[in-house]
Structure 1
């Protein structure tokens, strides 16, 4: 496969412009007759994204797709996490895209198939996999047509539906995705015992469980407390219980596993601040298990609408940040002091708080502005 952007002189030009202003670069004329300036910028953008999301692709001969395909690709961190829990003989990715998930997920399978309707994108992925000495069967076909013609069964079927409409606006409901998972879920479960679907971190979990069949597990995956994706597992052998996993990668926090729906029967106790203060990570907040956290770790909430917890003795393995703090009066705050500001269920935002009290941002000390049942309070790290 002849790829003009891989010519040595083009690659040298790309390397020399990795830190250039891309808007200015796009206004220039390409110095090459067979490679446009748009194609050059596409490769530069790809390398910039790869540095953060999948550095294993920063190799000679790797070619990057347009921006949209890069945006929806998983990072190597989330893909690696998923690869550690999926195993079998035959694996298929029905929406392979740029193939990052498939590259990692396929490591525990003998037989790997990638389906992609975009011809040029699939050729690019096949080229990259050859460079990386990775084998697979590449099928250039619409998913719907493949499902009609296919006669094979698989141990795991994986999908990452496109989350943009025809006007490239972001969409989130399953019926608006491409493919529409609701229309094909029954067919998928005839072809595999396990179907794994990657979804937007903004998807509503209750909605998800109300429209999908045979949900066995939901993983909320964050990287450094930034929720990146929600992954739902459909299983032919599903029981009535749905296990939800809260995972915060690249942190020292423990994973939390709970039965989906258990929040409804959980209750919180309340207290004014005690010696230790707990702030759940964003996977817990996404899961909405505010009472269950109180019960599970024997913690007390400060206020029904303040998702901050407290205890007199330190609790280990909490999925979030833990501080030793004391309540202070606003008059005790010295101007020009340096603090990390946290504002939760409080009228002022961190920037407004810094302006009001004349504070500098950063340092090792924390101030938490929040509310207990008795009213507004300020907490300072000890």
Structure 2
């Protein structure tokens, strides 16, 4: 009997559910009450359900089995996978780095034929088991992706990859040549196998570097969830396309996506002024894109300083993609000692922790203090 079949036993599932809030270190010291399932295997399922509660709640149903923690960490969240699924459609979809299959499950929803390739047989068994529970059909192939590409004779509408971003010592890596697989080496094979190639990358990767080393990019998605940038996703095609479209999306924020063509920033001019009534801070997906002048030009808001990516206006801009705060300029001596504030420090010599110590401030509350710099020098802004 496979581990998946053992774990879905009702008694074992009841035990797992009863211990979702138990200290796992204490639990690991206990002997498993089940002869065929070890305590580490039980704890692995508890960790999986705890992760699923936040990251992919659609898997919180009877019969689902979870892989080791590292596979859960490397998986996309339900929110980001669902967003990407809205972009792709066609007949034949293949995920060459299936992993736990979250991206494949969502991205393949608009395709008729689905193939998942994964070199880890145990992980693939778990995914195949779960897709059976979820009543989703696919072809599951246990293979190294480079060997698969060499042997494959099929053509696909879309290939999806999420290269491993850890080296042999499990340290995080970010440059394309350090990833596994190295998409620079297999790019031509990928484009010969599919009309479109989609690659999920680290949120830390530099866009200019990407475009300079990877030919064929025609679209980039910078995906944040609640202002935390989670993924940079690139779209490749062998067809010549005009311009590279970049979309900055901040999921669960209620903000509209901000889109531009790569190169627009270089032709944009920012406006400048000293602080006016309304202050704006772009969301982190936009800050990641580095379109600091374009934001000023598009929304008619003014920067405080060339290196201060905070904007302002005398009239309220209601659809700005980021934070909008009504503020006033104050002197250092006006900072309320021992007050409670949300502290923001941008282009300022002191970090928020240092500011809190200097003024004896506490985090939190409804009020904001922004320590920053305009063209005239260091300034402090307080929410009204």
TM superposition score normalised by structure 1 = 0.97
Specify the SS of the correspondent of 1:227. Answer: strand
Deviation at 1:301, TM superposition (A): 0.9
Q: Secondary structure at the match of 2:156?
A: coil
Unaligned runs of 5+ residues in structure 2 are none
| Shift of residue 300, structure 1, vs aligned partner | 1.4
1:136 Cα deviation (Å)? Answer: 0.6
Asked if 1:135 is matched to 2:137, the reply is: yes
Within a 5 Å distance, the mapping from 1:202-351 to structure 2 comes to: 202-351=204-353
Render the CA deviation track for 1:57-78: whole Å, top value 9, x for unaligned.
Answer: 0111100001111011000000
Q: Which sits farther off after the overlay, 236-245 or 161-170? A: 236-245
Partner of 2:54: 52
Q: How does 1:61-80 map to 2 (within 5 A)?
A: 61-80=63-82
Cα distance between partner residues in 2 of 1:27 and 1:345: 50
Q: Does structure 2 retain, via aligned residues, the 8 Å contact 1:275–1:324?
A: yes
Match 2:20 to one of 18, 21, 27: 18
Q: Distance in 1 between matches of 2:262 and 2:189?
A: 25
Shift of 1:30: 2.0
Give the TM-score of the pair, scaled to structure 2: 0.96
Does the alignment pair 1:113 with 2:115? yes
Per the TM alignment, residue 196 of structure 1 is displaced from its structure 2 partner at its CA by 0.4
Q: Deviations over 1:303-323 (max 9, x none)?
A: 111110111122232111111
Residue 355 of structure 1: how far off its partner (Å): 2.9
Distance 2:327 2:107 in 1: 43
For the residue of structure 2 that corresponds to 1:232, the secondary structure is strand
Task: Assess if the C-alpha contact under 8 Å between 1:340 and 1:362 holds in 2.
Answer: yes
Q: Structure 2 CA distance, aligned partners of 1:184 and 1:298? A: 44
Superposition deviation, residue 349 in structure 1:
2.1
2:85 to 83, 88, 92: 83
| 1:79 and 1:104 in contact (8 A); partners too | yes
Give the Cα–Cα distance (whole angstroms) in 2 for the partners of residues 215 and 168 of structure 1. Answer: 29
Matched residue SS, 1:378: strand
Deviations 1:18-41 (A, max 9, x none): 111112222222222211111111
Q: CA deviation at 1:139?
A: 0.8
The alpha carbon displacement at 1:281 in A equals 0.8
1:238 is displaced (CA, Å) by 3.4
- State the shift of 1:52 in Å: 0.5
Quote the offset at 1:89 in angstroms. Answer: 0.8
Structure 1 residues 267-276 or 221-230, which shifts more? Answer: 267-276
Residue 334 of structure 1 deviates from its aligned partner by: 2.6
Contact 1:215-1:238 at 8 Å conserved across structures: no
Tell me the distance in 2 between the aligned counterparts of 1:238 and 1:50.
Answer: 40
Q: Deviations over 1:314-371 (max 9, x none)?
A: 2232111111111011222333433221111122222332333233322222111111
Aligned twin of 2:162: 160
Which SS does the other structure have where 1:377 is aligned? strand
Q: CA deviation digits over 1:130-155, x for unaligned, max 9?
A: 00111111111111111111111111
Among 8, 31, 34, the alignment partner of 1:32 is 34
Runs of 4+ in 1 over 4 A off after TM superposition: none
Q: Cα 1:84–1:344, aligned 2, differ >3 Å: closer, same or farther?
A: same
Question: 1:230 aligns to what SS in structure 2?
Answer: strand
Aligned to 2:378: 376
- CA RMSD of superposed structures (Å): 1.3
Aligned residue pairs total 382
CA distance in structure 1 between the aligned counterparts of 2:59 and 2:240, rounded to whole angstroms: 37
8 Å contact from structure 1 (residues 218, 243) kept in 2: yes
